[in-house]
């Protein structure tokens, strides 16, 4: 049986990833493919429990190192129980955030070295990388407008960090895409959801015809 493909969606807060996960999955299904949509942190029971610990911790919360370990542990469970089995049975996996979020948030934002984040990923998930990572890029004004609409009830522990943290995250994503152009497709996320998903599908064309 042919293996499926693994696509990660990345970007800062308010980049529109969750909407795009849905639209891209619909477009792939319309082509007759089996598609699993999932997200990080989360996707399995254990990883969802860790999500809750990380994003909605009571009290003082976690330092960047503990946070990186928790994300890596959640990813390990997710890869072992959901992502790898789905790829093995020929499904496409669309994952809302993956390793590059740890590199951007705990690395770029939190100050851990990229080598340390990659070591955690090697231990936790045997270094599994997506076939392609779609990086959704939006202007700060558009992301602020979307977040104001989405987070009316308040944001989570990471989303609520200061603007400088999120600027470091956005800069880190941009550096990763520059450094590994074959692994990333940069997608302009400033347009309507339909315009953006058309760009995302165009970026997947090569994998679809492979
Ligand atoms: P979520 O509500 O899914 O946010 P978004 O809609 O912006 O994706 O919350 C995920 C949060 O966790 C988000 O702020 C990014 C952060 N995160 C990390 O810091 N490291 C990681 O490895 C992952 C997967 C997420």
- SS3 of 45, please? helix
To test the pocket of ligand 1, the residue of 21, 41, 65 to mutate (highest count of ligand atoms within 8 Å of its CB) is 41
d(CA 163, CA 74): 26
Work out the burial of residue 166: count CB atoms within 10 Å of its CB; fewer than 13 is exposed, 13-18 middle, 19 or more buried.
buried
Q: Which residues contact 36 (CB under 8 A, 6 or more apart)?
A: 82, 86, 91, 92, 93, 94
Q: Is residue 10 part of a domain?
A: yes
Closest CA to ligand 1's atom 20: 102
Q: Is residue 1 part of a domain?
A: no
Tokens of 120: 């955690």
CATH assignment of the domain containing 128: 3.40.50.300
Q: Is residue 115 part of a domain?
A: yes
Count structural domains, the chain: 1
Q: Is residue 140 part of a domain?
A: yes
To test the pocket of ligand 1, the residue of 56, 159, 172 to mutate (highest count of ligand atoms within 8 Å of its CB) is 159
Determine the pLDDT at residue 171.
93
> Is 100 touching ligand 1 by the criterion CB < 6 Å?
no
Given a contact cutoff of 8 angstroms between Cβ atoms, the answer to whether 6 and 90 are in contact is no
pLDDT digits (tens, 9 = 90+) for 17-76: 999 999 999 999 999 999 999 999 999 999 999 999 999 988 899 999 999 999 999 999
What does pTM read for this prediction? Answer: 0.94
Residue 1 binned pLDDT confidence (cut-offs 50, 70, 90): low
pLDDT digits (tens, 9 = 90+) for 135-151: 999 988 888 888 888 77
Determine the pLDDT at residue 135.
98
Measured from the CA of 40, which atom of ligand 1 is nearest? 24
Q: Is residue 13 part of a domain?
A: yes
Percent of the chain with pLDDT over 70: 100
Given a contact cutoff of 8 angstroms between Cβ atoms, the answer to whether 196 and 187 are in contact is yes
Q: Is residue 164 part of a domain?
A: yes
Range of the domain at 44: 6-208
pLDDT greater at residue 108 or residue 8: 8
| Ligand 1 center–CA 162 separation, angstroms | 15
| Ligand 1 center–CA 5 separation, angstroms | 22
Tokens of 191: 């347009």
Determine the pLDDT at residue 57.
86
């Amino acid at each position: 049986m042919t293996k499926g493909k693994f696509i990660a969606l990345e970007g800062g807060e308010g980049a529109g990833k969750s909407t795009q996960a849905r639209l891209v999955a619909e477009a792939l299904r319309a082509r007759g493919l089996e598609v699993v949509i999932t997200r990080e942190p989360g996707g399995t029971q254990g990883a969802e429990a860790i999500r809750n610990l990380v994003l909605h911790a009571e009290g003082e919360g976690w330092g960047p190192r503990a946070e990186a370990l928790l994300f890596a542990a959640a990813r390990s469970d997710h890869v072992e129980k959901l992502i790898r089995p789905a790829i093995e049975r020929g499904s496409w996996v669309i994952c809302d955030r993956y390793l590059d979020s740890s590199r951007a948030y705990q690395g770029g934002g939190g100050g851990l070295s990229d080598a340390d984040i990659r070591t955690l990923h090697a231990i936790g998930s045997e270094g599994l990388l997506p076939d392609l990572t779609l990086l959704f890029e939006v202007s700060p004004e558009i992301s602020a407008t979307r977040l104001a609409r989405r987070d009316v009830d308040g944001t989570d522990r990471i989303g609520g960090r200061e603007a400088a943290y999120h600027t470091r995250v956005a800069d880190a994503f941009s550096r990763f895409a520059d450094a590994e152009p074959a692994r990333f497709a940069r997608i302009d996320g400033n347009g309507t959801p339909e315009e953006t998903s058309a760009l995302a599908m165009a970026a997947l064309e090569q994998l679809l015809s492979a």
